[in-house]
Amino acid sequence: MKKWFFCLLLLQVSLINSQKLQFNIANDTINNKLLITSVNDEVLETIVIKEDKFEVTSLNLESGYYLLKKNDNPVVLYLKKDDDLTISYDASNFYKSIIFTGKGSDRNSYLLSKQTDLLDSKGRLTHFYKKKFYSGSEQDYVKRLDAYYKDRFGSLFSSRLGKDFENEEMKDLQYAYSLDLLKFADAKKKYDFLDSVTPSRSLTEPLTYIHFDNQQLYDKYPSYKALSILKWKKDIEKEESYLMMEDIFGGIRNKNLQQAVLESLYESLSKEDLQQSKKYYKLIKNNASTLTLLSKAKAKYDVIRQVEAEKNLSNFKYTDTDGLSVQLSEYTGKYIVVNVWSTICKNCSKDFEKIAKYKDKYKDYNIEFVSIALDKKDKFDTWLSILKENNIEENQLFFDGSKSKFINAYDVKSIPSFLLISLKGEVINDEKTRSSLKKTMKVLDGIINAL
């Protein structure tokens, strides 16, 4: 009798605390997946869509913030043990169509309204409010921001969403406010304001009281997570040296935060800033913990690198031994073996004989051997004299443009240096081979043998 009563009591408790999500879905594809993750992106539940209406009752999540993810589109939720929440959406207009009903809907509708403030005209989630929110001076922005958060806090406390949720959301809003302060300059840049400014010390002062590497806060509050990612990313962005970037990145103790910062840098890979993208990709390549991030970063960077390579072939102009202007783009469609040297390098001329032997070996292949002298303009006659002494003229080029731009474009570390450029203009030999013609040719042999 006692055993039966105890089992009945357990059943009643489980019914009281049962956690259920129901879904009403339109225009989605069967077998697509929805994910429920923790704030730190740990997957807690994978939901496979089998029909337009279904429910999930296997959840047993503690009260707190979670993310519902459809593809790369996250929705912030706050779930409680006894929630019976229905989530409806139209996949063709995801964020604008989401509706919450049932037990737990009020607090989740409140959270959704925070995200809808960040939707663009096409219903896509962005990092910023509408353009007019950032117009005017820094002081105008702070007034606007203060008014916005005053309304947010007013909505929170007037909606009777539960004391525990109010307490947690109040903290999250404080981090969200700091996040908006940090995003001010980025927003000015995004919307192409002519009065783009460097934030004043008074604007960013509240950030000095926040520790940006707190594991517990990162795992718990969505806005703290976004704030800490952006702060670390900005600290990395402002460094010109890759070694300094690596040093700052290594200072992040939270491994989940490290990977999130790399994801954020992946989003910033851009053909508009080729040199910075090169450093970001290197940081990702050396530190990514998942093949997913590594492969998508490589695919994106390969596109950027191709754009850079094609630009480099035509960006730089050289002078040949007849005084005529030449560009490497004239060799497009061939593998180009480039010998970068200088007239002030005493040993560089010793490579000419080796290059001549390789030219003869590969004369039947689609390969050009080009030597480029990096020298000041007044060394042109000296250059011609050295070439005559060595009885060489073919594909000998003189570069008297910006040395720093050339060095950065082709990542030249020393003189002499050897570059292997692909059919499309990409530098494809590893930097470790560049001081040796023999090693560079081994890379070329591997390519030819694979054809």
DSSP characters for 187-217? HHHHTT-TT--PPPHHHHGGGGG--S--HHH
Give the pLDDT confidence score for residue 195 in this predicted structure.
78
Considering only CA atoms, which of 59, 71, 173, 62 is closest in space to residue 113? 173
Q: Helix, strand or coil for residue 112?
A: helix
Give the pLDDT confidence score for residue 435 in this predicted structure.
79
Tell whether omega for the bond before 199 is within 30 degrees of 0, i.e. cis: no
For CATH 2.60.40, the residue range(s) in the chain are 2-116
Lowest mean pLDDT among 195-204, 302-311, 313-322, 336-345: 302-311
Lowest mean pLDDT among 175-189, 229-243, 293-307: 293-307
Considering only CA atoms, which of 223, 215, 257 is closest in space to residue 111? 223
User: Would you give the end-to-end CA distance of the chain in angstroms?
Assistant: 81
Lowest mean pLDDT among 5-19, 81-95, 353-367: 5-19
Please check whether the domain covering 2-116 is classified as CATH 2.60.40.
yes
* 284-306 tens-digit pLDDT: 999 999 999 999 999 998 888 77
How confident is the prediction for the chain on average, in pLDDT?
A: 90
Task: State both tokens at 168.
Answer: 């947690």
Give the pLDDT confidence score for residue 14 in this predicted structure.
44
Give the pLDDT confidence score for residue 426 in this predicted structure.
83
Long-range contacts for 344-348 (Cβ within 8 Å, ≥24 apart)? 344/375, 344/379, 345/415, 345/416, 347/416, 348/415, 348/416
Helices (H) and strands (E) in the chain, counts: 17, 14
Lowest mean pLDDT among 104-113, 216-225, 391-400: 391-400
What's the whole-number mean pLDDT along residues 306-328?
A: 86
Q: Helix, strand or coil for residue 86?
A: strand
What's the whole-number mean pLDDT along residues 203-215?
A: 94
Residue with tokens 């009065």: 195
Give the pLDDT confidence score for residue 139 in this predicted structure.
94
**Rounded distance, CA 175 to CA 195, Å?**
27
Q: How confident is the model at residue 427 (pLDDT cuts 50, 70, 90)?
A: confident
What's the whole-number mean pLDDT along residues 380-393?
A: 90
DSSP 217-283: HHHH-HHHHHHHHHHHHHHHHT--SHHHHHHHHHT---HHHHHHHHHHHHHH--TTSHHHHHHHHHH
Half-sphere exposure of 333 (CA within 13 A, CB side): 1
Residue 318 has pLDDT above 60, yes or no: yes
What is residue 73's DSSP assignment?
Answer: E
CATH homologous superfamily, domain 318-450 = Glutaredoxin (3.40.30.10)
User: How many other β-carbons are positioned within 10 Å of the β-carbon of residue 140?
Assistant: 12
Q: Are 355 and 371 in contact (CB under 8 A)?
A: yes
Torsion angle (degrees, nearest 10) of CA 115, 50, 62, 68: -20
Give the pLDDT confidence score for residue 6 in this predicted structure.
42
Residue 417: burial class (beta carbons within 10 Å; 0-12, 13-18, 19+): buried
**Rounded distance, CA 412 to CA 312, Å?**
14
Residue 405 has pLDDT above 70, yes or no: yes
**Rounded distance, CA 419 to CA 402, Å?**
18
Q: Are strands 367-374 and 335-341 parallel, antiparallel or unpaired?
A: parallel
Q: Are 150 and 100 in contact (CB under 8 A)?
A: no
**Rounded distance, CA 258 to CA 395, Å?**
47
Rounded to the nearest 10 degrees, the angle between the axes of helix 274-287 and helix 242-250 is: 40
What's at 16, amino acid-wise? I
**Rounded distance, CA 215 to CA 329, Å?**
51
Task: Give all strands (DSSP E) within 13-143, no chain letters.
Answer: 20-26, 33-37, 43-48, 53-56, 64-70, 73-79, 84-90, 99-103
For CATH 3.40.30.10, the residue range(s) in the chain are 318-450
Residue 181: burial class (beta carbons within 10 Å; 0-12, 13-18, 19+): buried
Q: How confident is the model at residue 320 (pLDDT cuts 50, 70, 90)?
A: very high
* 27-79 tens-digit pLDDT: 999 999 999 999 999 999 999 999 999 999 888 999 999 999 999 899 999 99
Residue 165 has pLDDT above 90, yes or no: yes
